[in-house]
Structure 1
Amino acid sequence: FLKSLNDLKDQTYARLCMSVEEEKAKNDWFEEVRTREERASHQLRQLQKELRSEKADREKDVSTRDEQIRKLRVELEGIQKSTLAQIAEIEAEAKAQEDADRQAFIDRESALRAELNKVKADLTAKRKENKDSEDALRKRKVKNESEVEQWIAKYDQDVGEKDAELNSLKAVYADEQKEIARLESYFAEMAAERELQLEKERKLAALRAR
């Protein structure tokens, strides 16, 4: 304030010493300076306003990207957990079914073999009686042996189907792992891009601060 007052005193004294033309020229010069200063101040305020707006937009974009990345990571973790749980459940079901089928086959085979042994014993005992009874028992033996073979074939078929289903699920799991790897790479690229953008903004802010 004191400096401004001294300047005003100096200007007043100088004005008293000037001619009318000099006074007018001096006033015109002061008016031009004032106008330029007001224009520069207005431009500065406008630029500061635009800078604040741009910074707010940038921060909003960064926040939006962060939220998208967070949601994608949560979704990805959910997919991984769901897939692993589903595979574990299917493997457990397949094993339980395989064990049940194996036990059923063993029980059935044991029963059929017991019956076959009984038939053989009966055949030996009755072979002495007559040829007709011997033929009937032989047919029954063939039938029982055929049933045993059918049960073995059915067991092999069931096991093969379960193995094929398990292999198919493992292939699906492998595909999902590839997709997970692709998404992780995409997230890494997005994070690197965001870091690069933030670094540019910091450099720009540092330049403007100068």
Structure 2
Amino acid sequence: MATSVVELQQLSNQETIHMRLQAPGRATSPPKPFKKGKIKLDPLRALEPARKKLTTVEAQRVMAVLEDTRKRIELVSYLPFIIDDLDRFSVMFGSDLLELFRTHKATQESYNELRASLGDLLDRKERADSPAGSQRRGSAASVRSNASVTSVDDKIDSSTRHLQLVEKQLRHSVKNILRSLATNPGAARAIQELKVERPQHVSTMMQALSELRDIIMEKLLTTPVEEQEKKQYLTQVTHQERQNAVLIEQLEGELNVALEDKDAEVKKKNDVIRRLQADLHQIEKFSDEHIKRTKSEAEKQESADQKNSEGKQAKLQQEVSTLRTQLQNLISEHKESEQNLRGKKFKLETEVENWIQRYDTDMGDRQSQFEEMDTRYTEEKKQLHELEERFTTLETEYKQIQEERRIAREKREAAEREMQMMIKGATTIQAFWRSYKVRKALKSKKKGKGKGKKGKK
């Protein structure tokens, strides 16, 4: 795997070969010369490749091989966890893949045993070859120790050969497992979805492979022209940084000068502040004297005001005494008027009580009269109700009789009208009949007269 990584690194350093596939039966045209133009780089994406996808088949193959290698290493990193818990994956893997895992487990156990025994043999050899061990052995024991050392060397050689063979078997077992997982994507996906904590060196290796993939991807996406432009851009950035460093030194010098000027200005202002503080101290002294004078004048004014207030208090006390005498006189006068008013009030209260008693007696009499009238009213109302019921019955009967009379009268009037019409009609018919007879008689008379005249002639 290390050789493949080195080869990938060499391929990334080589120039990218652009290939164009031709359709059969189509004439080829000569390639156009490459025009060298200045490509403007975005400062934010200056170090990113312009292309986002691989266009050449070789680059795609390189990335496919690298991605396949990373996935296989990830699957191999889960093998210890799967071997420790094979019963959990027995249904998912199937019999063939499960047998491969069991074979790998047995091979790994034998590998660990051989490695442990080889380590013990190497420790024994180191103890035998150490100077302290050779001093403890005597002349007679040296021969036996040499023989034992020879046997240990033979055992080490045989263990090393066995270990190499088992290591080779272990590699073949891993390859067989990976081939079987390639034909069983469901099992591979289940292994990748395992949530177990892998050792630190495995996580570091996977992270390094991911970083290597990103680096190779960036190398494959970057064209030689872009690489040259990146170098130019980095050169420009370095040159600009140097210019900025020179400018920073100049600005620092100017800053130091400005700081010195500022310190001098601050010193001047401190001197001004000291003078102002001295003036302020003098002003405070003057203000203290002014306060003392003002306080003495205020005390004098206070004593004068106190004397004036004492005179005013004496006058006010005299006025208070006179007002108190007036108050006593008014109280005595008001007592007399109060007694008179109380007498009037008593008289009015007695009159009101008398009127209330009269009102109560009068209202009692009126209440009794009202009750008598109420009883009479209820009786009369009851009689009225009975009479109204009777009147209602009689009224219905009366209305019924009147209705019958009206109907009989209407029938009679209709019969009379019909009789009059019949009489009138009969009279008219008789009149017509009489007139008809008269006319007929007159006609017959005229005919008789005419016949008589003819006979005379």
TM-score, structure 2 normalization: 0.17
Name which one, 1 or 2, has greater alpha-carbon Rg: 2
TM-score, structure 1 normalization: 0.36
